[in-house]
């Protein structure tokens, strides 16, 4: 059953609409829907496969690429307040333009530990919810059962951002490391086929990252074939990349120079925090374990083990890599696209460099595999609830996988991966993930209050303090991301709300079982909200365009094109909102 009660006589319409907008889907109903034979996924995974999936998602391009920027810091060639971390602006004001994004230095090891702690707190919350609600959808499903449909849509839309943008970034990193490996054999892929079309420093060119595109599409085919085959391939790749990281730590540790560790915190606590916000990208992925809960043999036991075990293993390896890397090379020399590989090359370990590059490639492939698996299953769950078109919840008759959602997710990631650079993508993924962590932590608190007696295969210890600490620390990391990322994040959410008011409100499975009068009132409210939001978005796009044209803010062709597309989207939804409002008003009057 849905918790939105039928509107009682005399009840205020606004109260009824709020009940419909924040209607929750009971956990029993969610589990029952998952057992529908026509939309049931095959159960083949155990705790070991889930742990490998978690490690496969977590250890990707982050440890091999973003560690360089996090350690050395970043000062933009054309500084803008939009490129500054929110925390830096609050602490330094306009001086933050000169400070840029301070690096953590050798203290990056502490950044990795701090982020691991934050992820562990959020991971405990994920583990409790996954043991209660063992079905596909991850944070989206959990918020539907606790915070209501409106918030569930927001988090589902946010997860699309997390998984898709993460994979775009990883695919770009994959191409860079393939080029690096081939260069050691004196083989070079033409820039027109091996680099993205857009580079923030060089602008646009007639390039396409073909390698990034092809690896995503190859793994998409594998995922359509079946979860068991995908898990086996992932297990092999996880073993290879862990071996490569182990070889790096053992071999390179002999070349550590203690003087490279001085000063250990060159930019103080702010450098450690900003570095943590950047390397947080390295930990994204453990939550994707919960998206495969519906395909587990014993999800109440296996999902919590998979989440926590994968986090522990990855944190151990990350800290080891950070200590060794900053010990063999001074921290301010690591700001490049392949810091681990170039550090090994600088000390003459070319054979080890090849091993590490192979490990990095395996890490990126397995990361893409798990992210694509998670993304398709979030779309599958949203479609099953009527918030996306029904075809996204179609299950292949032979392979029992969500084939259409998987194919769309493949092209949705592969094409941008051929166009954009990794720096444009990684930070945007971080803010979306942190927001998801906050909502999941809040969901644990709500379910403890509303359903204290419901059986839980795992319980977060020291509740409510651990969920509260998770919320506060995730907010602190979000404050260490740039203002530009906050702006992009809110724009993404607004566009998502427009989709929800246009399609989700009208097609929600919860809405179909609701009181007709309350549903009509809700659609009218959605029409007004769509008109207001699209109008506000259009005004903001026009104002931002005026600021750019006036030269008040430096913007490249990508930002300018984005503003034009944003204005076009706003106009389309404004027209659709007006059309819906006319039709729904007439329907309400004649009812």
DSSP letters, 123-190, are HHHHHHHHHHS-STTTHHHHHHHHT-HHHHHHHHHHHHHHHHHHHHHHHHHHHHHHHHHHHHTT----
Q: Give me the mean pLDDT over the 533-546 stretch.
A: 92
Asked if the model's pLDDT at residue 521 lies above 90, the reply is no
Query: Among 15-29, 134-148, 176-190, 266-280, where is mean pLDDT lowest?
Result: 15-29
Predicted pLDDT of residue 106: 93
296 pLDDT higher than 70: yes
pLDDT given at position 1: 44
Domain boundaries along the sequence of the chain: 13-481, 505-591
101: part of which helix (H) or strand (E)?
strand 101-102
Q: Please state the φ and ψ torsions of residue 514, each to the nearest 5 degrees.
A: -85, 170
Can you tell me the mean pLDDT for 78-98? 62
At residue 19, the pLDDT reads 63
Where are any strands of DSSP class E within 408-486? none
Q: Give how far Cα 550 sits from Cα of 77, 543, 553, Å.
A: 20, 10, 8
153/287 Cα distance (integer angstroms): 18
Q: What is the pTM of this model?
A: 0.78
Split at pLDDT 50, 70, 90, the class of 8 is very low
pLDDT at 137: 58
Higher pLDDT, 137 or 481: 481
For residue 328, the model assigns a pLDDT of 93
35-44, 342-351, 537-546: least confident range:
35-44
pLDDT at 76 over 60: no
Which DSSP helix (H) or strand (E) runs through 74? strand 73-74
* Residue 401 confidence (pLDDT): 81
Lookup: tokens for 224: 């359509």
pLDDT for the residue 327: 94
Instruction: Name, in order, each residue with C-beta under 8 angstroms of 149's C-beta and a sequence gap of 6 or more.
Output: 21, 22, 23, 24, 25, 385, 387, 504, 508, 510
Question: For residue 26, what pLDDT is reported?
Answer: 75
pLDDT at 267: 85
**pLDDT score, position 14:** 47
Stronger pLDDT, 170 or 437, i.e. the higher one: 437
Rounded percentage of the chain residues whose pLDDT exceeds 90: 17
> Mean pLDDT throughout 396-407?
85
Over 90: is that where the pLDDT of 538 sits?
yes
pLDDT for the residue 4: 43
From CA 441, how far away is CA 437, in angstroms rounded? 6
Q: Taking 90 as the threshold, does the pLDDT of residue 286 lie above it?
A: no
Instruction: Provide the pLDDT for residue 28.
Output: 74
Using the predicted structure, report yes or no on whether residue 97 has a pLDDT greater than 70. no
Average pLDDT for residues 132-138, to the nearest whole number? 68
Output the six-digit token pair for 578.
């007006």
Which residue reads 């993508």 in tokens?
425
567: pLDDT confidence band, cut at 50, 70 and 90? very high
**Residue-wise DSSP of 377-404:** HHHHHHHHTTSS-GGGG---TTT-S-HH
Average pLDDT for residues 296-313, to the nearest whole number?
A: 81
Summary mean pLDDT of the chain = 80
The stretch 284-293 carries a mean pLDDT of: 70
Average pLDDT over residues 28-55: 70
How do residues 249-260 score in pLDDT, each as one tens digit?
999 999 999 999
**Partners of residue 176 on adjacent β-strands:** none
- pLDDT exceeds 90 at position 274: no
Q: Which fold, 13-481? A: Amino acid/polyamine transporter I (1.20.1740)
- Range ranked top by mean pLDDT from 47-51, 130-134, 273-277, 540-544: 540-544
Look at 185 and 583; give whichever has higher pLDDT: 583
| More confident of the two residues 394 and 38 | 394
pLDDT interval class at 74 (50, 70, 90): low
Lowest mean per-residue pLDDT among 131-140, 307-316, 408-417, 506-515: 131-140
**pLDDT tens-digit map of 312-338:** 888 899 999 999 999 999 988 887 767
Give the residue with greater pLDDT, 197 vs 351: 351
pLDDT at res. 511: 74
Instruction: Tell me what the mean pLDDT of segment 341-353 comes to.
Output: 84
Share of the chain above pLDDT 70, in %: 82
Q: How confident is the model at residue 79 (pLDDT cuts 50, 70, 90)?
A: low
Mean pLDDT value of segment 512-536: 86
Q: How confident is the model at residue 145 (pLDDT cuts 50, 70, 90)?
A: confident
Residue 363 vs residue 201, higher pLDDT: 363
For the chain, the straight-line distance linking the first and the last C-alpha, in angstroms and rounded, comes to 26
For residue 277, what pLDDT band results from cuts at 50, 70 and 90?
A: confident
Please tell me the predicted confidence (pLDDT) of residue 136: 58
The pLDDT, as a whole number, for residue 522 is 86
pLDDT at 70 exceeding the cut of 50? yes
Residues 6 or more apart whose Cβ sits within 8 Å of residue 279: 62, 63, 66, 67, 70, 108, 111, 112, 115, 318
Using pLDDT thresholds of 50, 70 and 90, give the confidence band for residue 501. very high
Quote the pLDDT of residue 575.
95
Helix (H/G/I), strand (E/B), else coil: 499: helix
Predicted confidence at residue 348, as pLDDT, reads 86
The model's confidence at residue 12, banded by pLDDT at 50, 70 and 90, is: very low
Q: What is the pLDDT of residue 302?
A: 81
CA nearest to 344, candidates 177, 218, 104: 177
d(CA 579, CA 585): 10
């Amino acid at each position: 059953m849905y918790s939105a009660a039928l509107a009682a006589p005399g009840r205020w319409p606004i109260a009824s609409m709020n009940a419909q907008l924040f209607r929750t889907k009971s956990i029993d109903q969610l589990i029952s829907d998952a057992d529908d034979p026509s939309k049931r996924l095959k159960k083949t995974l155990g705790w070991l496969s889930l742990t490998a999936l978690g490690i496969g998602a977590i250890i990707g391009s982050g440890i091999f690429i973003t560690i360089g920027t996090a350690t050395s810091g970043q000062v933009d060639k054309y500084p803008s307040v939009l490129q500054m971390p929110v925390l830096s602006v609050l602490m330094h004001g306009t001086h933050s333009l000169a400070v840029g994004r301070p690096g953590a230095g050798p203290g990056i090891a502490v950044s990795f530990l701090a982020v691991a702690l934050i992820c562990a707190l959020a991971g405990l919350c994920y583990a409790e919810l996954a043991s209660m609600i063992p079905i596909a959808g991850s944070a989206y499903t959990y918020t539907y059962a606790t915070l209501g449909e409106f918030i569930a849509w927001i988090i589902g839309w946010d997860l699309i951002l997390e998984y898709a943008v993460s994979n775009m970034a990883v695919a770009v990193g994959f191409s860079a490391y393939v080029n690096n490996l081939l260069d050691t054999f004196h083989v070079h892929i033409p820039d027109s086929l091996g680099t993205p079309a857009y580079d923030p420093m060089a602008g646009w060119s007639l390039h396409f990252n073909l390698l990034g595109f092809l690896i995503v599409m190859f793994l998409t085919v594998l995922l359509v074939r079946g979860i068991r085959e995908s898990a086996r391939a992932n297990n092999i790749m996880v073993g290879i990349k862990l071996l490569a990281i182990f070889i790096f730590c053992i071999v390179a540790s002999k070349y550590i120079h203690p003087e490279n560790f001085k000063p250990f915190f060159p930019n103080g606590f702010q450098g450690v925090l900003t570095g943590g916000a950047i390397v947080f990208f390295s930990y994204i992925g453990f939550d994707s374990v919960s998206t495969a809960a519906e395909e587990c043999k014993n999800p109440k036991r296996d999902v919590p083990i998979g989440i926590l075990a994968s986090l522990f293993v990855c944190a151990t390896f990350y800290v080891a890599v950070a200590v060794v890397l900053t010990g063999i090379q001074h921290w301010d020399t690591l700001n490049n696209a392949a810091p681990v590989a170039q550090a090994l090359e600088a000390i003459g370990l070319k054979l080890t460099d090849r091993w590490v590059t192979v490990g990095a490639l395996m890490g990126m492939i397995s990361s893409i595999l798990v992210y694509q698996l998670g993304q398709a299953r979030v779309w599958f769950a949203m479609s099953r609830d009527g918030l996306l078109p029904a075809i996204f919840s179609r299950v292949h008759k032979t392979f029992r996988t969500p084939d259409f959602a998987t194919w769309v997710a493949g092209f949705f990631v592969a094409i941008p991966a051929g166009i954009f650079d990794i720096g444009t993508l990684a930070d945007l993924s971080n803010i979306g993930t942190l927001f998801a962590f906050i909502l999941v932590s809040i969901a644990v608190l709500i379910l403890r209050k509303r359903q204290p007696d419901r059986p839980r295969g795992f319980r977060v210890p020291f509740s409510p303090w651990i969920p509260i600490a998770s919320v506060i620390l995730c907010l602190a990391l979000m404050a260490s991301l740039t203002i530009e990322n906050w702006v992009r994040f809110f724009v993404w959410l607004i566009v998502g709300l427009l989709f929800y008011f246009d399609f989700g409100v009208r097609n929600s499975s919860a809405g179909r079982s609701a009181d007709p009068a309350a549903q009509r009132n809700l659609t009218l409210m959605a029409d007004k909200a769509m008109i207001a939001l699209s109008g506000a978005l259009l005004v903001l796009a026009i104002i931002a365009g005026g600021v750019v044209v006036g030269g008040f803010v430096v913007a490249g062709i990508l930002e300018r094109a984005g503003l034009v597309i944003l204005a076009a989207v706003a106009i389309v939804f404004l027209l659709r909102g007006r059309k819906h409002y006319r039709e729904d008003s007439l329907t309400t009057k004649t009812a």
